[in-house]
Structure 1
């Protein structure tokens, strides 16, 4: 049994993780610790406060006691306000506090793009444009080319959590751009796990979503590989051999 620890902000799409655990169908356990946030809003100062090292460190004891082998901070926006270097220090501090390998959803997207062997992506973000642009800048700092950024303008995670198949597919299609080899949909408040096969079939290319890559990142840190086609191309590829 491999146990993955997820630090999840709020109470929006946490049921995506139970679905992903079920779709993996292996000896993988996904344990969530919910982090209460003072202000659920897509605004940069609130996002920095939500991802403060002190707040994250105070939440890891339960994961340690549950036997987690790796921990992932499941909030892209909760890392973006720190920039690439600051987000690296954020996860280093989390690893020290947790006593286990650590990462965040923001870095998970960069690693997942590399895993797929693609270079150029399109971004479809539910949040306002300024936060979506921060995410695109983060990808670029990780060596990912961004072909286009489509922002839907949702101000709160609660709004995004209410989206279903129609809204998800519409934003993914609007975000897709000529030359993009994959489409990236970043928000862990967004229910997307059930739609991955539909999204990839509709767009004809890999689709990476926040809760999907968060679990994948935990597996990567724990040195586990699983084959789960219902979770998209990311969960069906053999490891990329770096030369």
Structure 2
């Protein structure tokens, strides 16, 4: 049995994780500990407070007791706002607090893009244009070429949780470009576990979503191989996950 853990702010799309657990190998367990999200808005300062080291450290004991072999901070927004260097510092502090390999969803996106071998990506972010732009800057700092960024204007996680497949398709199509080798949909408050394959069929290219890459990252850190094509191209390989990638 491989158990991996997630710190998730609130309850907005946390049911993506049990859905993915059913899809994955039966010897994989996804444990979610819900952290206090604070005020529900997407301002950069609020997101920084949500991802503060002391807030994350307070949530790791339950994951340790559950036998987690790795932990991922399942909030793209509350990690990307720290920037490329700051996100590494955030995950390092989390690893120290947990005594486990740790990462965040924003870093998971970079590792997933590298695993796909994609050089150019488009960003379809339900966030406001400001936060979507910050995610584009984050990816660029990691060496990923971003050919387009489209924000969906969502200012709260509660609103994002209400998005369905049609809204996701609309945003993904608007963001996609012919030269984009993958389309990224950051926002852990949006339900995407059931929609990755539909989005990939629509765009005819790999699609990476927040909760999907968070699970991939946790398994990568635990050095667990898995194959689950229902979760998209990222999981549709029988090869071992890549070795951990530094800065």
Structure 1 segment 107-146 matched on structure 2, within 5 A: 107-146=107-146
Gap runs ≥5 in structure 1? none
Q: Could you tell which deviates more after superposition, 230-239 or 5-14?
A: 230-239
Q: How does 1:162-241 map to 2 (within 5 A)?
A: 162-237=162-237, 238-239=239-240
Moved more, 169-178 or 93-102: 169-178
How much has 1:25 moved relative to structure 2? 3.2
Q: Is the 8 A contact 2:105 2:213 kept in 1?
A: yes
Q: In the alignment, is the contact (CA less than 8 A) between 1:115 and 1:239 conserved in 2?
A: no
Matched residue SS, 1:75: coil
CA displacement at 1:137 relative to structure 2: 0.7
Deviation per CA, 1:127-149: give whole Å up to 9, x if none.
10110011111111111100100
Say whether the 8 Å CA contact 1:149–1:175 is kept in structure 2. Answer: yes
> Could you tell me the TM-score, scaled by structure 1's length?
0.97
Matched, 1:100 2:97: no
Q: How does 1:72-83 map to 2 (within 5 A)?
A: 72-83=72-83
What SS does structure 1 have at the residue aligned with 2:100? coil
Determine whether 1:88 maps to 2:85: no
CA distance in 2, matches of 1:180, 1:29: 33
List aligned pairs for 1:38-53, cutoff 5 A. Answer: 38-53=38-53
Q: Cα RMSD (Å) of the superposition? A: 1.2
Instruction: State the match for 2:151 in structure 1.
Output: 151
Which blocks of at least 5 consecutive residues in structure 2 are unaligned? none
So what's the TM-score if we normalise by structure 2? 0.96
Report the counterpart of residue 161 of structure 1 in structure 2.
161
Shift, 1:170, TM fit: 1.0
- Tell me the secondary structure at the aligned position of residue 223 of structure 2: coil
Counterpart contact for 2:108–2:213, Cα < 8 Å? yes
Poorly superposed stretches of 4+, deviation over 6 Å:
none
| Distance (Å, rounded) in 1 between the aligned partners of 2:203 and 2:80 | 27
1:9 matched to 2:20: no
Q: Deviations over 1:133-181 (max 9, x none)?
A: 1111111111110010010101101111001111111111111012000
SS of equivalent residue, structure 1 residue 55: helix
Distance 1:8 1:16 in 2: 11
C-alpha displacement at 1:26, in angstroms?
A: 2.7
The verdict on how the C-alpha distance between 1:41 and 1:224 changes in structure 2, with shifts beyond 3 A counting, is same
Equivalent position SS for 1:213: helix
CA contact (8 A) 2:19 2:193 kept: yes
CA contact (8 A) 1:109 1:213 kept: yes
